[in-house]
Structure 1
Amino acid sequence: MSLPVLLLVILALAAIAYVTGRGRAFRTASGDIRQLHSLPAYYGWNAALSVLLPALVVLLLWISIQPVVINNSVSALISEESVAESSLDLVLSDVRRVADGLDMAVETGALSAADARSLTSTGTDVRALLGSVGVALGSDVSEETLDAAQRYRGMSSYGAILRSVLVLAVGIGGFVIGFRASHKDFRARNTVERVVLGILIAAASIAILTTLGIALSLIFNTVEFFKVYPAADFFFGLTWSPSFGGGSELGIVPLIWATLYISLIALAVAVPVGLFAAIYLSEYAGSAVRAVAKPLLEVLAGIPTIVYGLFALLTVGPLLVDIFGQGGLLGLGWMKGGTAVMTAGLVMGIMLIPFVSSLSDDIINAVPQAMRDGSLGLGATHSETVKQVILPAALPGIVGAILLAASRAIGETMIVVLGAGAAARLSLNPFEAMTTVTAKIVSQLTGDADFASPEALVAFALGMTLFIITLGLNVFALYIVRKYREQYD
């Protein structure tokens, strides 16, 4: 039984449990709802949860454990010579592709199930057979790989059968327990609410555990990097020149400089535009204008960053060259190519406008109306009230919104990759190409570099540095926003 079908069966069993559990509770109360401890729906949900939760837990555990067991068993068939030629991961990848290809060949009728079990690489052109069903391989199919693929298929098929039997058995067991518990004196509401509370706690814990996992993975790999490369050269080096053949100079200072430079230009665009837009929408715009303008402004936040990157590469960059380049409108010759700090900064600023405007709008609207009325009652004009009362009161929250936008700018990748170029340099000229920390994290982890080399591990040190910077900005911004909100609670 395939996984989607198994899930549908479990959901159907849970629905049946809901109906039967609710009905049994009514029967034990002789149809009088007043004799029930809880509302009828609680009895149904208790029966449904008795099916769903144990079955899904067993299914998740099985899905997590089965691949590990199969890979360990299949790895025993791989010789050390094959591993030495490439790597165990690449060999296992070929094994899985061959197994998938055999399954596809059986499904399409190109190969019978019996032939698939007895297939040998010498008796049949396996590569041609797999190519006929659209499976691409990185190397020729050896007898060893074919044997491992056949074991992989057998164990996967057997595991799928066991998984279906075990999950259905647990689901049916839960059905019986939930059905028998559906009695008029059973405290169904208490049980269901405890289960829901546990689900909510688990959902809230996911964010914490995810953050912890990200931090630990970065820390461990960063420690490995500093074992092979001096920390002082990394943090204070002025040259970024990785060389996968050795002799790399991995100073982070040029990358940090470009990251902060581009972020500063982006904030110089986003903050005034976003803040003025927020002031207009909250203090001057009518309800009809606000109902249209605010959603349209926030559409910018939903545009993928790759689209912004293409916009920077194909539109903003050439436009700046036409203005500031050699022979351009101003004839200054400052800009030699479309990729530059200014290009990425302007486009990133456009992307950040809805972040600043939306948060600032909410913060300005949170200022008590009594402060506005008091200012107007003392004879101040509307504009004076905005400048001297509302903005000072909302300033801590606005600063928090700007810091959140700054952390978003520092972590941006695609706009920088397409709009700012790839040159790591220290320069004050915003019309020169530079690159940032995020762009180099991508470049250092792509390709065929040895994962244990400093040129690859440096990506984790870069990521850890960026993580600390953005985490600090976020914590500081949240502190300011919460402090501001407490003033008017």
Structure 2
Amino acid sequence: MPVFWILIAILALSAFGYIFGRRRALSSADGNIKNLHSLPFYYGSFAAGASFFAGIIVLAVWLIAQPFIIENTIKGTLQSEIEGAGVSSTLLLSDVRRIADGLDDAVAAGAVSQDEARDLAGSPEELRATLGSYGVALGQDVEPAILNAAQEYRAISATSRFWMTLASIGAALFALGYALKLTNKDFRARNRVESATKLLLIFSASIAIFTTIGIVFSMLFETRNFFSQYPFMKFFFGTNWSPNFRGDSDLGILPLLWGTLYISFIALLFAVPVGLFAAIYMSEYASAKTRSIAKPLIEVLAGIPTIVYGLFALVTVGPMLRDYLAQPLGLGESSASVMTAGLVMGVMLIPFVSSLSDDIINAVPQTMRDASLGLGATQSETIRQVVVPAALPGIVGAVLLAASRAIGETMIVVMGAGAAARLSLNPFEAMTTVTVKIVSQLTGDTDFASPETLVAFALGLSLFTITLGLNVIALYIVRKYREQYE
């Protein structure tokens, strides 16, 4: 049974559990709500929740464990093929999954029966042609061993889906029966429901923590594999980036790190003054009506997809900078440059700086402004000498958060700055960033065991460390130096 219908079945059991839980509780109290320990709603919620969560937990665990079990089984089948061909097991498993999915699609479309798909055989050329007629496109001939593994993959998957259906619905039924057995007028349903709700809230609050831990460990393991094949010092202090999947690669991070910081610096150089001045105007000078119009319009910039900014950089900003600045000054001939990506990224960062700074400036008590004005200071002097210094720690935190956003940007850099890894001070030359190279190293049919692919995880971990450090510094500054006013 497909996962969708399993979910429908579990939801239906939960609905029945809610109805029968209420009825059983009221029946045990002879229909008098006053004789119940808890409201009928809690009895129904307890039965429904027990059924729902039991089924969902079993289903989730099964879906997580199933791919690993099936792939390990198929790897055993393909062990001789992997050793004989000298091909990565990842690539072979990818072919196996593609063929199995293609056969499933052909069966679902009625192009072939289950028996025909199971008994499919022939030479590699015949298999490739036959699978092509079923809509399974392959770039190479299909070896019989791969086809046998794909058929075994389909068989194991079908068996696993069958037992997954029984286990999930069975767990939901068992939990429903157990909950209804406990349900009577003296059962403390409210306490159980509130405890379960508390656990759910704790789990929800922990998702961010678990996700961060998972991200770190997933990168750490692959980074360890990378440094077992490539020198640690050469990666962090190398000044040349030229990956070559045939060997003899130079994978120094310094050109990528320089491009990342250079583009981010130009972006902040543009975004911080514009965003800060916009925040000062909206909080100190603009009328309520003007503020109600200007603030949402500025924040619209934050909702524009980064690919749209990239197109803007590619079509408009890049050619304009090339024609009116780079070429007349003899600094470059390309529309893709650090300046292009930096300016467009700066436009994207304006709402981040302005909105946070505006909220921070508005948090400065009005009594401080009134005291300054009462002492004879002008409005501009009050802003310069009282408001901005009081809000400065929060403004610094907003700038650091914007810097973290700039360092992690990809699409604007791809379309605005190019993909050349170089160390240069010329802002009108094409450069690239860490994020762009992470994408390029993982794009295509690559061997995940090679250092040229594993370097993406080392780059990702380095970038994660930099952005995490900036976020920690920003939070530290905001919390430690924020003035508390009464």
Aligned residue in 1 for 2:404: 407
Alignment correspondent of 2:210: 209
| Cross-structure match for 2:145 | 144
Cα distance in 2 between the residues matched to 1:424 and 1:158: 50
Residue 306 of structure 2 corresponds to: 305
Range moving further from structure 2, 266-275 or 16-25: 16-25
The equivalent of 2:179 in structure 1 is 178
| Structure 2 Cα separation of the partners of residues 318 and 220 of structure 1 | 43
Q: Structure 1 residue 389: deviation in Å? A: 2.0
Report 1:444-455 matches (<5 A): 444-447=441-444, 450-455=447-452
Task: Map Cα deviations across residues 29-76 of structure 1 (whole Å, 9 max, x no partner).
Answer: 334333333333222211111101111111111112222333333334
Q: Please tell me whether residue 84 in structure 1 is matched to residue 84 in structure 2.
A: yes
Do 1:356 and 1:405's aligned partners in 2 also have CA atoms closer than 8 Å?
yes
Letter in 2 for 1:367: V
Contact 1:240 1:251 in 2 (8 A): yes
Q: What TM-score, normalized to structure 1?
A: 0.91
For the residues of structure 1 that align with 2:452 and 2:111, how far apart are their CA atoms? 47
In structure 2, the CA distance between the partners of 1:378 and 1:22, relative to structure 1 (3 Å rule), is farther
Counterpart position of 2:382: 385
The alignment covers a number of residue pairs equal to: 485
In structure 2, the CA distance between the partners of 1:384 and 1:25, relative to structure 1 (3 Å rule), is farther
Q: What residue identity is the alignment partner of 1:63? A: L
- The change in CA–CA distance for 1:370 and 1:22 in structure 2 (over 3 A counts) is farther
> What is the deviation of 1:321?
1.1
Unaligned regions of 5+ residues in structure 1, if any? none
Check whether the contact 1:83–1:91 (CA below 8 A) recurs between aligned residues: no
Q: Matches of 2:347 and 2:301 in 1, distance apart?
A: 8
| AA at the equivalent of 1:77 | T
Deviation of 1:417 (Å): 1.8
1:203 shift after superposition: 2.1
Counterpart position of 2:391: 394
Aligned to 1:37, the other structure's residue is in SS state coil
Within 5 Å, give how 1:25-424 maps onto structure 2: 25-78=25-78, 80-81=80-81, 84-85=84-85, 86-121=87-122, 126-326=127-327, 331-424=328-421
Q: Deviations over 1:174-217 (max 9, x none)?
A: 11222233323222222112112212222222222222222223
Conserved 8 A contact 2:124-2:142: no
Q: 1:129, CA displacement in angstroms?
A: 4.2
Distance 1:73 1:116 in 2: 20
For residue 325 of structure 1, give the secondary structure of its aligned residue in structure 2.
helix
Q: Which residue pairs with 1:476 in the alignment? A: 473
Q: Deviations over 1:145-201 (max 9, x none)?
A: 333333222222222221111211111111122223332322222211211221222
1:184 and 1:384, CA in 2 relative to 1: closer, same or farther beyond 3 A?
A: farther
Q: Once structures 1 and 2 are overlaid, which stretch shifts more, 447-456 or 283-292?
A: 447-456
Aligned counterparts of 2:176 and 2:33: Cα–Cα separation in 1: 23
- Between the aligned partners of 1:387 and 1:485, the Cα distance in structure 2 is 18
Tell me, yes or no, if the aligned pair for 1:94 and 1:138 is still in contact at 8 Å. Answer: no
**SS of equivalent to 1:81:** helix
Paired amino acid for 2:346 = G
Give % identity: 62
Shift of 1:18: 1.5
CA RMSD of aligned residues (A): 2.6
Residue aligned with 2:77, SS: coil
- The alpha-carbon deviation at position 365 of structure 1 amounts to 1.9
In the aligned structure 1, how far is the partner of 2:124 from the partner of 2:82? 21
CA distance in 2, matches of 1:382, 1:364: 14
CA 1:443/1:155 → structure 2, altered by over 3 Å: closer, same or farther? Answer: closer
Partner of 1:438: 435
Distance in 1 between residues matched to 2:46 and 2:353, nearest whole Å: 45
Taking structure 1 as reference, are residues 107 and 436 closer, same or farther at Cα in structure 2, changes over 3 Å only? closer
Distance in 2 separating the partners of 1:283 and 1:102: 66
Which residue does the alignment assign to 1:5? 5
Q: Deviations over 1:109-149 (max 9, x none)?
A: 32233333333336995544433342212433343333333
Do 2:260 and 2:434's aligned partners in 1 also have CA atoms closer than 8 Å? yes
CA distance in 1 between partners of 2:229 and 2:144 (Å): 40
User: Is the contact made by 1:105 and 1:130 (CA closer than 8 Å) also made in structure 2?
Assistant: no
Q: Distance in 1 between matches of 2:446 and 2:118?
A: 38
CA distance in 2, matches of 1:26, 1:107: 48
Distance of 1:143 and 1:312 partners within structure 2: 50
**What residue in structure 2 maps to residue 466 of structure 1?**
463
Q: 1:465 to 1:125 in 2, by over 3 A?
A: closer
For the structure 1 residues 19 and 416, does the alpha-carbon distance in structure 2 shift closer, same or farther, using more than 3 Å as the test? same
**Equivalent-residue separation in structure 2 for 1:188 and 1:45 (angstroms):** 8
- Which residue is 2:24 aligned to? 24
